[in-house]
Every structure is written in C-alpha cells, then in structure tokens.
Amino acid sequence: MRALIQRVREARVSVEGRRVGEIGPGLLILVCAMLGDGPAEAAALAGRVARLRIFKDGAGKMNLALAEAGGAALVVSQFTLAADTSRGNRPGFSTAAPPEEGRQLYEQFSDEMRKLGFTVANGEFGADMQVALVNDGPVTIWMDTADRARG
C-alpha cells in the first residue's frame, strides 16, 4: 500500500458541498491499495504511520509520533498514488488494486488506525472529493509497503 502523509494543523474533506470528514492537528493520510496488497500491508502501513516521529517535541525537533502529539488522522482514498508516468504524459493506474479490493483495504487501514487508539475521520471512497488542509511545516512524507519488501 502507498500513503502520502501530511502533518496538518487542520484538514477536511467534502463531497458535493457536504463535509464528510474533518480533523484538527494531526495527519492527513492519502492512501492507495496496490495490486497484490492484502490485510498484512494495511496493518503494516498503519503501524508505520503510527510510529512515524514527525511532530515537534519541547525542543522543537521532530521527535514525537501521532499519539504523543495527541493528534487525529484524516484518511482519504486516492488511487492516483498508483500513477505510472513512465510512458508519456497521461498517467496509467493499472497497478492500483481493483475498486472493491481497494475499498476493503482502505477501510481496513482506517480500522487499524482506530485499533491503535487514534481518532480517525474519513473521506468517501470513490467519490469526487475536495480536500482542504493547512500543512504544518510543511511536512509531507511518502510511504510504500513495497519498499520494506525490497529492502
């Protein structure tokens, strides 16, 4: 699974003018399930995100994880993280998991974050969403569970 993680002061997601998810300080996590991903990848990604130390401590250093910072998570599905731009100007998305598998893994990732004790808000899978955020730092981190398998 892939994730683009942004440390935010606040973030919200709307669908057709209706706010469906919102958090204060925490993480906006854009998530994409890839072909071949399963429950193990969703759990592993949630654990890695939870342990990611990108919040400032008392000395102003990025040394705290989400729980230590008291933040929440806004999880938004984003299949475009699977974009392949190696062949021209129009990205291909054939490496993204099929929609139903993607939905299940997106929901499992969110559930895993909840099991870890976080307040989790969500976007709406498959919808045309508008995401607004105030990136804090800015801090933006890319994660891919396939990186662990390769390295």
Active site residues: 78-80
Q: How many CB atoms lie within 10 A of CB 15?
A: 14
Tell me how far apart the alpha carbons of residues 19 and 123 are, in angstroms, rounded to a whole number.
9
Asked if 97 and 37 count as a contact pair (C-beta separation under 8 A), the reply is yes
Dihedral sign computed on CA atoms, order 90, 91, 93, 99: negative
Torsion of CA 104, 107, 113, 114, to 10 degrees: -130
Tell me how far apart the alpha carbons of residues 144 and 148 are, in angstroms, rounded to a whole number.
8
